[in-house]
Amino acid sequence: MVIIDPPEQTLKLLREALNTSDEEQEESMEILAYVASLASSLASTQDFDASTWMESLSPYLSDVENQDTSETIEKFRALAEKAILDDEDDESDEEDEFGGEELCNIRFSLAYGGKILLHQTKLRLRRGHRYALVGTNGAGKTTLMNAINNGKLEGWPFHLRTQYVDSGSNVDPVHEAKNVFDELLTSGASKEDCEAMLKQLKFTDVMMNGTIGELSGGWQMKLRLATAVLVNADILLLDEPTNHLDHGTVDWLKEYLCGLKDTTVITVSHDTPFVEDTCTDVIHYEQRAVWGPHRRLVHYRGKMSEFVKKQPQAKHYFELSTTDLKFVFPDPGRLEGVRTSTQKFLEMENVNFRYPGAEKNTLNNVNLKMSLSSRVAIVGANGAGKTTLVKMLSGDTQPSNIGECKLFIHHNLRIAYVSQHAFFHVEQHLEEAPAKYIQWRFKDAYDKEKLHSEAYKITPEEQQRIDDFGLEGIWSRRMKAGKLEYEVKKKNVPEKDNKYYTKDELLSMGFERLLKQTDEKIAAKEAGLDLRPVTITEIQRHLDDFGLAQEFGTYGKIKGLSGGQKVKLVLAAAMWNCPHMLILDEPTNYLDREALGALSAALNSWGGSVLMISHNKEFYSSVCKEEWIVADGKVIVKGASEEREMKAVAKKKVYKKEVEGEELLDKVGGNVNANGDKYKDAATNFWGKALSKKEARAYEKAKKKGDVKRMREILQVPTGKTMPGHDELGDGK
């Protein structure tokens, strides 16, 4: 290092620039040391503006040289700038011995959205090397990949042919309407080569002649990879290439990349085992004190494991754990009639599903159960029907044999579904802040985005039936004799003449979507969304629980978020309504190892049910005790015996804990926290958010004093509202 703090080396450069003798300099050493400290401060912030240096240093150096100091200061500034730029940001001095034609050797800066991501960093690439681009979420990895692909870097050799395979996070309706085979022909390859490539990846004739939108996420990624392979580029840029891919395709991709001799590969991936098996070099985003506040790229020869040996602080890339980052999920709240964590709220028996026009069923004779204690991973090959199964479980689609099977979903069940294309929704709000997006989505006390989705949108045919019936609206719902009944208000009919209809009766009238919307709004009200303040301050508190700081959540824009930050936003938005069940479709996509560790810890400590589709066994095995294997149209349940054992024990054991002499059981039919935490009644506030230790202590202190007003303040109970299990709080009036 040339410039350090304290600035002894800077002082050497200053003395080199002066036109005075050593003796004269020694006499003015106190002044020179001060000037060197000023210069060191400027250099540490990468400020090498000539006028700034002149203005800052001239008043002091004029006493030393007794003449015009502009020439000396400019020489000093140039020496300092050269020294800091020449500071070693490439660890591989022996790279020339490693071989490979040099494709580029440039120095550049990179910014995005007014934020400097890289400043005066060096990038040297060689043919045939496979580089892993490594950095934290939000460091700017995808931005750099885009800049390389578009030739936007200073000094970039424009003769190099690049091919960028993105992560597939954006859903483009125009692109999805294209024919699969025609898309592959855009690579410039012959029809014969295109067909051979698709068959190598096991595309069927039906898939080749269909549209891109008809393919699952995994098959769409295969198509992007096939196109990239046929282009035969100088530099292949892969952004999260294993997203959505099954194990067989990942193995194929590894073999293909390792067989490349003339193509340079740059990969961004949070799949550490994949990176370890494919990379020959690591390019790491680093920030050192000598470089000031900005990052640079540092190159290391060897695999990820060798890189970690040189940089032990980077070992988190191999560990599914977290240190500082923590996700806090809201308590799911009570579910009417569900008293234990093992009592089922969802059940399927003999369920089949077939897409319209298909010759055979996608799923056959499915038998499944779920409860609050369920932790399930759905695994299987791309296109096996995993997402189809999830859509039935979430109520988005119905079984094909609806009259011959059993499908029970609790009428008040709140489900948060984070799909593999979840970015599509947030990217309709790119110019807004994340907090503004959540405010828009929930300001009407229900999930506007969900009710506007295709699964909930009232069709023209149903709207016609509503008009013909003269239905003004469904006003309320009740349970009578074990059946759900809905209060129906007809147009031009007095409210006193409203009638109740059973759910089956309304379904037979063709009001399916209207009923779904009604149930969703009632479930949201049960979560307290009609009372929860949808202010930016409250929303930012919620975003803080998911690791999205105010800088990004309130003051940033969605378009400036990295893939990992968008996942945090999508997850936070999904959890706003305090769901009982969280469905995650490929949750490991885009999150770095630390965030995955935080997500794993949050899921394991959460009181709700978890269902995930994932090809990342390391992650899902850290959370899920049960697997549903989807293959050949069947769903095989593995590990359910553990849940059955738990139920058997539950019959013999009373699920309660003493809380200062009171039972923990929810006397109005609510949830029981299976882990029986001490003081559970005071562990969450009215909105289901966990109390901090400080708040919990304050609550216990107020309780001992009988200070009901203070207790209500701590639990954030709105005036006029009571809180189940806390009769002593009253309604606050």
Q: Give which of 217, 215, 226, 280 is closest to 252, Cα–Cα.
A: 226
pLDDT at 402 over 50: yes
Query: pLDDT per residue over 277-323, tens digit each?
Result: 999 999 999 887 666 678 889 999 999 999 988 888 777 777 776 56
Give every CB contact of residue 341 below 8 A, 6+ residues apart in sequence.
371, 372, 373, 607, 655, 671, 672, 673, 674
CA-based R_g, the chain, Å? 31
In angstroms, rounded to a whole number, what is the distance separating the alpha carbons of residues 609 and 244? 23
Beta partners for residue 264, in sequence order = 235
Range 348-413+580-652: architecture per CATH:
3-Layer(aba) Sandwich (3.40)
In angstroms, rounded to a whole number, what is the distance separating the alpha carbons of residues 546 and 557? 17
In angstroms, rounded to a whole number, what is the distance separating the alpha carbons of residues 698 and 683? 12
Calculate the alpha carbon distances from 499 to 238, 441, 484, 485, 514 in Å.
60, 32, 13, 10, 16
Q: What is the mean pLDDT of residues 541-566?
A: 91
In angstroms, rounded to a whole number, what is the distance separating the alpha carbons of residues 339 and 399? 28
The residue assigned the tokens 């503004």 is 436
Q: Give which of 151, 121, 93, 131 is closest to 264, Cα–Cα.
A: 131
pLDDT value, residue 669:
34
The alpha-helical segments, DSSP class H, found in 558-707 are 563-574, 593-605, 617-623, 640-652, 693-705
Query: pLDDT per residue over 417-452, tens digit each?
Result: 988 776 777 888 999 999 999 999 999 999 998 888
Contact 17, 72 (CB under 8 A): yes
Contact 423, 566 (CB under 8 A): yes
pLDDT value, residue 300:
92
Q: What is the mean pLDDT of residues 358-379?
A: 92
The alpha-helical segments, DSSP class H, found in 279-380 are 304-310
pLDDT: which is higher, 686 or 174: 686
In angstroms, rounded to a whole number, what is the distance separating the alpha carbons of residues 136 and 421? 22
- pLDDT tier for residue 99 given thresholds of 50, 70 and 90: low
CATH 3.40.50.10740, domain 95-318, yes or no:
no
Contact 582, 416 (CB under 8 A): yes
pLDDT: which is higher, 291 or 398: 398
Calculate the alpha carbon distances from 261 to 116, 130, 164, 236, 670 in Å.
35, 10, 18, 12, 62
In angstroms, rounded to a whole number, what is the distance separating the alpha carbons of residues 265 and 129? 6
Give every CB contact of residue 297 below 8 A, 6+ residues apart in sequence.
89, 118, 121, 122, 123, 283, 284, 285, 286
Query: Any idea where the domains of the chain sit in the sequence?
Result: 8-85, 95-318, 348-413+580-652, 454-526, 658-729
pLDDT at 611 over 60: yes
Contact 180, 227 (CB under 8 A): no
95-318 and 348-413+580-652, same CATH topology: yes
Top-confidence range, 4-18, 80-94, 393-407 = 393-407
pLDDT value, residue 616:
81
pLDDT value, residue 647:
52
Q: Give which of 626, 615, 609 is closest to 589, Cα–Cα.
A: 615
Beta partners for residue 66, in sequence order = none
In 389-437, beta strands by DSSP E: 406-409, 415-418
pLDDT at 94 over 50: no
pTM exceeding the 0.85 threshold for the entire prediction: no
Amino acid symbol at 107: R
Residue 652 structure tokens: 């013999």
Contact 650, 644 (CB under 8 A): no
- pLDDT tier for residue 675 given thresholds of 50, 70 and 90: very low
In angstroms, rounded to a whole number, what is the distance separating the alpha carbons of residues 695 and 683? 9
Query: pLDDT per residue over 504-520, tens digit each?
Result: 999 999 999 999 999 99
CATH 3.90.1150.10, domain 454-526, yes or no:
no
Q: What is the mean pLDDT of residues 464-471?
A: 94
pLDDT at 500 over 90: yes
Contact 655, 647 (CB under 8 A): no
CATH class given for the domain over 8-85:
mainly alpha
The residue assigned the tokens 């282009």 is 231
- For the chain, what percent of residues have pLDDT higher than 70? 87
Query: pLDDT per residue over 108-138, tens digit each?
Result: 999 987 788 898 889 999 999 999 999 887 7
- pLDDT tier for residue 469 given thresholds of 50, 70 and 90: very high
pLDDT value, residue 609:
94
For the beta carbon of residue 123, count every other beta carbon within 10 angstroms.
Answer: 24
- pLDDT tier for residue 549 given thresholds of 50, 70 and 90: very high
